[in-house]
Amino acid sequence: GAVVSQHPSWVICKSGTSVKIECRSLDFQATTMFWYRQFPKQSLMLMATSNEGSKATYEQGVEKDKFLINHASLTLSTLTVTSAHPEDSSFYICSAHFPPGQEYGYTFGSGTRLTVV
C-alpha cells in the first residue's frame, strides 16, 4: 500500500500557457503532500508543502503565483505551473508520508517531466 499516482508523466506546453500536475494517493489519505523539483543530474529541491484544506507553505525563492498548489481533498494535490516559461522546464515529483501503521517513510509519485517550448 501507500501508492501515489502522478499525472501526467510528461507534458510539452507552449510558453505562456498553464500546466496542471496531479498527485493522487490511491490507497491511503495523504494529509500532507510535498512537491519537489529536480533539474538534470541534480538533487531534489523542496518547492512547497501542501496540507489538506489549508494554504501551501512555499520554500524561500519559490514564486507562489507561478506555482499554484491546491490540496482540496485527502487524496488529491495539484501543482499548476502558470504562464510557463522555458526556465520552468524541469522534473517535478510529489511525495507523501506512509500512512500510520506502516514503518515511517515516504512514498513518491513517478514524476512529471515538463518541457516548455
Partner 1 sequence: AQTVTQSQPEMSVQEAETVTLSCTYDTSESDYYLFWYKQPPSRQMILVIRQEAYKQQNATENRFSVNFQKAAKSFSLKISDSQLGDAAMYFCASTINAGNMLTFGGGTRLMVKP
Contacts with partner 1 by CB under 8 A lie at 32, 34, 38, 41-46, 49, 91, 93, 95, 97, 103-106, 108, 110-111
- Of 46, 71, 50, 49, whose CA–CA distance to 61 is shortest? 46
Q: How far is the CB of 49 from partner 1 (least distance, A)?
A: 6
CB of 91 vs partner 1, minimal distance in Å? 6
How many other CB atoms are found less than 10 A from the CB of residue 70?
15
CA–CA separation, 114 and 92 (whole Å): 8
Nearer to partner 1, 18 or 64 (CB): 64
